[in-house]
Structure 1
């Protein structure tokens, strides 16, 4: 069965943190659906304009194995304002699905009161939002339960490979990297047991 991932774009999203997961997950033969919180073109933090596949409202009832939240300071603030995202994430957690958030987007999870005991990494600019006992600030990517968090745009490749690893396995990571040729060690990330 083909795995499915949803990438949610909000105005001001960090382009690298959206496009790298979309690209690498598709290389891993994961079906990636890109949805905007507004209809039409969504403009990122560097003024790159992306046309999502769907409006978020059109995919709220669909099944996804992973929901991915790109960061970007403005993008994360816009995600926090959309109650549909909170409800979508609550349903994802209840059914045991994966959630992945990078950069400033882990702050959305805290804001929504989700993943109350999980370890996180995030961009240093929002680390004050994460309880210190749960913060892994020196880690590029952290996996805790069904939550994957990434530190920043520079972690986008490692973050994406971790999503692939969790959804379709280590062999898929190696297969994608055969043509992608990342120099990152493909050893996995910090995990809370």
Structure 2
């Protein structure tokens, strides 16, 4: 079974954190939300408190991860970027050719550790400069380039989550989950 870790810092964006976790878990993927705050309770950018599954400091390494992902939001993305352990885990994951993903403002973390060099990427509109000169900003809702996936913001949470799920399940199963979540009705409204 695939294993995914999502890092949570105070100030994260709720839908960007929880929609992908929900989608992946519906697909049978093991997802662990990891707090980088020193507490299992992490407060979102809108004052919603979420209980993380694990504390960062209690994990020796993330070598069993198939995917490491970051929700956006401010100051959550800035807080993730300031966490040396998160930065090191992302670099190690990327260097092994394994998947990393970030949505909204969080691609700035990937850029700051050099993971977007020569990559196509997206980020929340108006934050393009945070991708750095070495990334190609596409403006897409969801952008994949090799082992890096980025999303543009809250509205991208569902297509981003389904894209991540598609790395672990056949297309028919992903479509079945989309249908069960009536995602097709959203697209056709």
TM-score by length of 1: 0.90
2:43 is aligned to: 43
Provide the secondary structure at the position in 2 that maps to 1:67.
strand
Equivalent residue runs for 1:77-116 within 5 Å:
77-116=78-117
2:119 is aligned to: 118
Deviation string 1:57-116 (CA, Å, 9 cap, x unpaired) is 223413110111000020000001001011101111122211110000001111122231
2:176 is aligned to: 175
Unaligned runs of 5+ in 1: 186-193
1:25 is aligned to: 24
The answer to whether the Cα contact below 8 Å between 1:65 and 1:167 also exists between their aligned partners in 2 is no
Equivalent-residue separation in structure 2 for 1:96 and 1:76 (angstroms): 23
2:54 is aligned to: 54
Equivalent-residue separation in structure 2 for 1:169 and 1:105 (angstroms): 27
More moved, 149-158 vs 125-134 = 125-134
Provide the secondary structure at the position in 2 that maps to 1:57.
helix
Equivalent-residue separation in structure 2 for 1:74 and 1:169 (angstroms): 36
Unaligned runs of 5+ in 2: none
Equivalent-residue separation in structure 2 for 1:118 and 1:166 (angstroms): 19
Provide the secondary structure at the position in 2 that maps to 1:124.
coil
The answer to whether the Cα contact below 8 Å between 2:121 and 2:150 also exists between their aligned partners in 1 is yes
The answer to whether the Cα contact below 8 Å between 1:79 and 1:108 also exists between their aligned partners in 2 is yes
The answer to whether the Cα contact below 8 Å between 1:13 and 1:72 also exists between their aligned partners in 2 is yes
Residues 131 and 25 of structure 1, relative CA distance in 2, 3 Å threshold: same
| Alignment RMSD (CA, Å) | 1.4
The CA deviation at 1:149 is 0.4
Deviation string 1:137-179 (CA, Å, 9 cap, x unpaired) is 1x10000010010000010000000000122231221121131
TM-score by length of 2: 0.92
2:146 matches 1:145: yes
